């Protein structure tokens, strides 16, 4: 046998069995680890803790389940003694002395790694009991000088997490005889600063946060670390990766933020790993078995496109007999739109309650009443809060939110072209908006998931069970200093109920209500600047985009192009707006409205500037006419300068036709605002040079033709009814 063969044999005889023994020892250690926590109620935070424990296969025993919490409110004052009493009782019942106990809070804790790493770091501490550490002393600052000095790291004990061998922890709590609302932290601190007890029990602190990371006083030290498909919290001050993350004290929002990612909830490689867990699929139910939903609709300021809002509400894909409506409107301006909707469609819903402006109820009180309607209705399963400025494009929104099976969940909506949304990712120290690190990525869809957030507004779904239990307070929206939405979210956070926002789907957007004027008949016409997408959807023909694809443009005469531009609604609103204004010109040559005061070929008309619509009309020409012009007249680029834009009215007994003329323009746009054979007879446009006529103008379609020199034309006689056209002389 060669020396190398002999060494190989030794390796087989000794090394391999040694590794097997180590493996068995490691497994035994993990089996001996028992996590103890106190949870008298199964809160949202407790559920998060248990999910993280399950993720890493921790064995958890919950103490105090179902009992009344008598440990005080130690968020604002010392307390927590009940936890020590329950721990002492549990340890006295344990017979297996070789257990390693991890005693940890649960409502504000997540595991970031598994038992193997935790036990390894515990044993490296070379003490029998290891406490979490803090940089701030609490609750008795007078004890600061009695704490042992440390070479590096946090000096003060944190009672929210510690681990050790069962006999040592049992010895540590054996002297507890305090009241349930006494301070657990003060009790453990006094043991730790007693040198004899510290040595006897063999206690140390996890000064560099290798096992435990308490967030209070350390927020600037903790960052998320994404690496190789995993996500951890990293303490950058000590360059450690804590196993347990604890949002102690006033850091509940920060643990909620970290809990959106840890443990591996969301990574760059996998995206959201838990978003499809705990779903409540509605597909398995008959429509008669769907949950009952009260939809609360709140109109608190003049808002554009209210009629469209109710049209979308009708299209919501949910059985109407499973919906009840609660409508509050503070705006008399919208009373006719609400009553019109209810007159036509209110009977579709199982129940409708309306509070109008005459009842003088403010926004906070109305929202409280809406919640209470659901609380008192034994059939109500959810309350769906929906502000009038919400543009809910996704007809499946309500189903999607119900299926998420969360206490409070909002569909993410944003304002077009802005980072404004209906949720906040963080709060400032004063409780107002602050931008979280991931906010922009969530809003812009670079991170997709379901996110625990501190604030939602405008549209969200609430479980009725939550309203009847944790959120029983009738005045959730009422505050002397906060607006109703902020007051509501503050109260929800105080009750430790989690709020979520989902961007797993595209849901819609939110309107801008700034600068919305109500002095016109159809005020939405003026929204092309503030809400351009909604304006386009309401007023631009649905087939307009086909023009740019060469699929929908006609050439009835040489260099004359005919294409769809306006919806019927746009045409109707423009006509009605002009008739409402009513100051039609007399059709004479003298016209003080135009430069020079003389019109060669006069019409009976109203100019856009007479109704303060010239800026909006110019924007319309730039956005929707200029692209067609540049496509059909290659090489010509226009800024749509148009000092003459107006609506013409033709009537047989007023002005039935227009004599042949050239337009004072480079090109002219002529839009038919009503329908031949429906609203009028006759009419049309004839181009004399080509002996070519367009005699059946389609409502909402535009004729675009050169103005000077070549396209000498006339308006054909209107023989019955009233014909309206919108005319723009572009680039005179």
- The span from the CA of 369 to the CA of 471, in Å, is 14
Question: H or E element: which one contains 567?
Answer: none
For 512-521, the CB contacts below 8 A with 24+ separation are 512/415, 513/301, 513/302, 513/303, 513/304, 513/389, 516/301, 516/302, 516/303, 516/304, 518/302, 518/333, 520/577, 520/580, 520/611, 521/573, 521/576, 521/577, 521/580
User: How many residues make up the chain in this entry?
Assistant: 732
Helix, strand or coil, per DSSP, at residue 517: coil
Count of alpha carbons within 13 Å of 253, Cβ hemisphere only?
Answer: 22
Distances, alpha carbon 223 to alpha carbons 136, 255, 256, in Å: 20, 12, 14
Question: CA Rg, the chain, in Å?
Answer: 36
Beta partners for 243?
none
> Is 565:672 a contact under the CB 8 Å cutoff?
no
- The span from the CA of 357 to the CA of 355, in Å, is 7
Helix, strand or coil, per DSSP, at residue 556: strand
For 644, the token pair is 């003459």
- Give me the sign of the Cα torsion angle 48, 52, 57, 58: negative
Question: H or E element: which one contains 536?
Answer: helix 532-539
- The span from the CA of 510 to the CA of 508, in Å, is 7
Across 113-210, the runs of DSSP E, i.e. the strands, are: 129-134, 156-165, 203-205
Dihedral in degrees, nearest 10, Cα atoms 408, 412, 415, 417: 160
* Cβ-based neighbours of 699, under 8 Å, separated by 6 or more: 566, 568, 571, 672, 673, 674, 675
Q: Which of 317, 328, 310, 321 is nearest to 371 (CA)?
A: 328
Task: Say how far residue 439 (Cα) sits from the centre of its chain.
Answer: 10
> Is 298:388 a contact under the CB 8 Å cutoff?
yes
- The span from the CA of 559 to the CA of 665, in Å, is 15
Burial class (CB in 10 A: 0-12, 13-18, 19+), 659: exposed
> Is 370:337 a contact under the CB 8 Å cutoff?
no
Task: Examine the residue annotation and report whether 723 is marked as an active-site residue of this protein.
Answer: yes
Q: Which of 60, 79, 63 is nearest to 71 (CA)?
A: 79
Q: Which of 208, 217, 206 is nearest to 249 (CA)?
A: 217
* Cβ-based neighbours of 208, under 8 Å, separated by 6 or more: 152, 153, 154, 235, 238, 240
Q: Which of 329, 440, 463 is nearest to 389 (CA)?
A: 329
Could you say which of 234, 367, 493, 723 is catalytic?
A: 723
The three-state (H, E, C) secondary structure of 634-657, written as one string: CCCCCCCCCCEEEEEEEECCCECC
Residues assigned a catalytic role: 723
């Amino acid at each position: 046998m060669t020396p190398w063969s002999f060494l190989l044999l030794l390796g087989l005889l000794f090394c391999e069995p040694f590794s097997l023994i180590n493996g068995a020892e490691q497994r035994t250690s993990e089996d001996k680890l028992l996590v103890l926590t106190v949870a008298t109620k199964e809160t949202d935070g407790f559920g998060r803790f248990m999910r993280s424990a399950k993720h890493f296969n921790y064995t958890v025993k919950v103490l105090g389940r179902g009992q009344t919490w008598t440990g005080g409110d130690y968020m604002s004052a010392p307390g927590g003694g009940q936890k020590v009493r329950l721990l002492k009782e549990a340890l006295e019942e344990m017979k297996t002395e070789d257990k390693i106990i991890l005693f940890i809070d649960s409502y504000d804790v997540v595991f970031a790694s598994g038992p193997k790493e935790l036990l390894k770091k515990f044993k490296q501490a070379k003490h029998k009991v290891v406490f979490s550490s803090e940089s701030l002393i609490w609750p008795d600052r007078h004890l600061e000088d009695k704490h042992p000095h440390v070479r590096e790291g946090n000096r003060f004990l944190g009672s929210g997490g510690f681990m050790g061998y069962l006999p040592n922890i049992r010895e540590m709590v054996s002297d507890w005889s305090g009241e349930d609302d006494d301070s657990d932290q003060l009790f453990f601190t006094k043991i730790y600063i007693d040198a004899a007890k510290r040595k006897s029990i063999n206690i140390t602190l996890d000064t560099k946060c290798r096992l435990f990371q308490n967030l209070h006083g350390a927020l600037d030290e903790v960052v998320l670390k994404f690496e190789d498909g995993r996500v951890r919290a990293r303490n950058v001050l000590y360059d450690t990766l804590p196993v347990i993350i604890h949002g102690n004290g006033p850091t509940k929002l920060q643990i909620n933020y970290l809990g959106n990612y840890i443990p591996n909830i969301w990574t760059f490689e996998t995206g959201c790993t838990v978003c499809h867990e705990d779903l409540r699929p509605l597909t398995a139910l008959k429509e008669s078995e769907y949950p009952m939903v009260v939809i609360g609709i709140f109109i608190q300021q003049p808002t554009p496109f209210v009629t469209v809002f109710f049209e979308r509400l009708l299209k919501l894909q949910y059985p109407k007999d499973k919906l009840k409506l609660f409508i509050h409107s503070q705006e008399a301006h919208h009373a006719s739109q609400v009553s019109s909707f209810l007159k036509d469609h209110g009977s579709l819903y199982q129940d409708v309650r309306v509070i109008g402006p005459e009842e003088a109820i403010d926004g906070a009180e109305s929202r409280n009443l809406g919640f209470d309607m659901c609380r008192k209705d034994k059939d109500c399963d959810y309350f769906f809060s929906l502000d009038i400025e919400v543009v809910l494009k996704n007809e499946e929104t309500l189903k999607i939110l119900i299926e998420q099976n969360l206490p409070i969940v909002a569909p993410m909506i944003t304002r077009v072209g802005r980072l404004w949304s209906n949720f906040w990712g963080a709060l400032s120290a004063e409780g107002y908006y602050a931008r979280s690190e991931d906010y922009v990525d969530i809003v812009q869809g670079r991170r997709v998931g379901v996110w625990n957030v501190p604030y939602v507004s405008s549209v969200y779904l609430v479980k009725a069970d939550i309203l009847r239990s944790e959120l029983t307070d009738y005045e959730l929206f009422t505050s002397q200093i906060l607006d109703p939405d902020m007051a509501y979210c503050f109260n929800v956070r105080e009750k430790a109920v989690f709020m979520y926002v989902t961007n797993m789907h595209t849901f819609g957007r939110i309107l801008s209500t700034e600068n919305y004027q109500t002095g016109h008949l159809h005020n939405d016409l003026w929204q092309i600047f503030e809400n351009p997408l909604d304006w386009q959807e309401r007023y631009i023909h649905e087939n307009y985009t086909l023009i740019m694809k060469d699929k929908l443009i006609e050439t009835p005469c040489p260099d004359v192009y005919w294409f769809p531009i306006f919806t019927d609604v746009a045409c109707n609103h423009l006509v009605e707006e002009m008739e409402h204004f009513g100051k039609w010109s007399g059709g004479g040559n003298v016209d003080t409205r135009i430069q020079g005061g003389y019109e060669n070929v006069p019409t009976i008309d109203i100019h856009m500037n007479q109704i303060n619509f010239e800026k909006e009309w110019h924007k319309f020409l730039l956005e929707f006419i200029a692209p067609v012009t540049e496509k059909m007249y290659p090489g010509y680029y226009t800024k749509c300068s148009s000092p003459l834009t107006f609506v013409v009215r033709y009537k047989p007994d007023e002005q039935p036709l227009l004599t042949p003329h050239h337009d004072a323009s480079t090109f002219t746009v002529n839009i038919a605002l009503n329908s031949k054979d429906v609203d009028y007879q006759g009419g049309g446009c004839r181009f004399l040079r080509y002996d070519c006529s367009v005699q059946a103008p389609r409502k909402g379609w535009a004729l675009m033709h050169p103005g000077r020199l070549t396209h000498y034309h006339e308006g054909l006689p209107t023989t019955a009814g009233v014909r309206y056209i919108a005319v723009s002389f572009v680039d005179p």
